[in-house]
Amino acid sequence: MSKTTLNKISEILGISKSTASKALNNYADVSPKTKAMVLNLAKELDYTPNSFAQNLRSQESKIIGLIVPEIVHYFFSNIILGVINAASKCGYAVVVVQSNDDYEYEVKQLDALLQKNVDGVLLSFADNTNNFKHVKSLLSNNVPLVLYDKISKLIDCNKVVIDDIKAAQMATQHLIDIGCKKIAIVRNKLKSQTTIDRYKGYKKALLLNDIEYDKLLDIETEDVSLESGKKAALTIFENHKEVDAVFAVTDLLAIGVLETFKENNVQVPEQISIIGFSNWLLTQITTPHLSTIDQPGQQMGKVAFDLLYSEIINNKNNVKEPYKTVVIDTKVISRESTK
């Protein structure tokens, strides 16, 4: 059976193709009677509009691009879910690409999305991104852009973040409130804004509680992998017996720390308390269950898409609004790994 076309509807009803199209799109200059006839026939013939042709006429692709550092990351998988759910309600498809947390690949992936004529881009920077020529070029060409999670304060655009300084301060304060005095931080290199801000939050909590910052308890790792967390814990175990708590800037680092302490018969939380960051699903199945900072990925994804959609609509209507930064609330999830 051949697909019903707009031509077929117009021929059956004896009206022009443009009138049939206007009726389907609820134009005011088409009479209610004609609209009803067209809509009823379209329903009877199971007519499906040619969205590709419609998008060409409106110069829209109805596709947005979403760049994530890692798809398998629990937090970013929730971002993806939040974006897709919000986008589908507005008739948009989402092309998801991964930067592998690498600047060079991020540039290539952004270029690939632009080749697909996406209507806008959602981007979380790779940890080693410190050159922003690719996104500045995007903005200069008036392509809607929203940065989320890992952002740069040097880029003037819409952003969705959490307050990483406040969240890390809350995590460290939680350890202080349960009586910990020698608190180590396990973090990756101070390159991304998120790591920098979590480091600042840790130091701020120490300062406000008159606890002296100890450079020796500031453990820097190569990345945020489980293995890096295990190596950091070994350094603490072998060289810093006085440590009674660890704040890790990601859950994966925290889980690595926890596993190494268990392997070396360090009792958690009786001897050392541990708190992570992000509230991965894994934190609920470790032994003991891991305390962490809740980072609501689905909510961040929804808000990021909503901002992008507003900018796309504003562009169509030649409306310019000031850029905004939306801050998503976080909280401490206290579980068995803290006393």
**Percentage, residues of the chain above pLDDT 90:** 74
Per-residue pLDDT tens over the stretch 109-127: 999 998 888 999 999 999 8
Instruction: Work out the pLDDT band at 151, boundaries 50, 70, 90.
Output: very high
Strand intervals (E) in the chain: 63-68, 93-98, 121-123, 145-148, 158-162, 183-188, 218-221, 245-248, 273-275, 292-294, 325-328, 331-333
Mean pLDDT lowest for which of 72-81, 207-216, 301-310?
Answer: 72-81
- State residue 141's pLDDT score: 84
Residue 186 scores a pLDDT above 60: yes
**Diameter over CA atoms, the chain:** 88
Torsion of CA 37, 39, 44, 47, to 10 degrees: 130
The tens digit of pLDDT for each residue in 75-102 reads 999 999 999 999 999 999 999 999 999 9
Mean pLDDT of 36-59: 68
Task: List the structure tokens of 53.
Answer: 């042709």
Q: Which CATH architecture has domain 62-161+298-329?
A: 3-Layer(aba) Sandwich (3.40)
Instruction: Give the CB-side neighbour count of residue 198, counting CA atoms within 13 A.
Output: 27
Per-residue pLDDT at 48 exceeds 80: no
Span of 23-32, 129-138, 156-165 with lowest mean pLDDT = 23-32
Give me the pLDDT at residue 68, please.
97
Average predicted confidence (pLDDT) for the chain: 92
pLDDT at 55 over 60: no
Most confident stretch, 28-32, 127-131, 205-209: 205-209
Q: What is the pTM of this model?
A: 0.78
- With a CB cutoff of 8 Å and minimum separation 6, the contacts of 2 are none
Domain with CATH 3.40.50.2300 in the chain: 62-161+298-329, 164-294
Residue where the block lists tokens 């199945």: 285
Cα separation, 108 vs 106, whole angstroms: 5
Q: Does domain 164-294 have CATH number 3.40.50.2300?
A: yes
Q: What is the pLDDT of residue 8?
A: 85
pLDDT value of residue 140: 86
Indicate the length of the chain as a whole number: 339
Distance in angstroms (rounded) separating the CA atoms of residues 41 and 323: 45
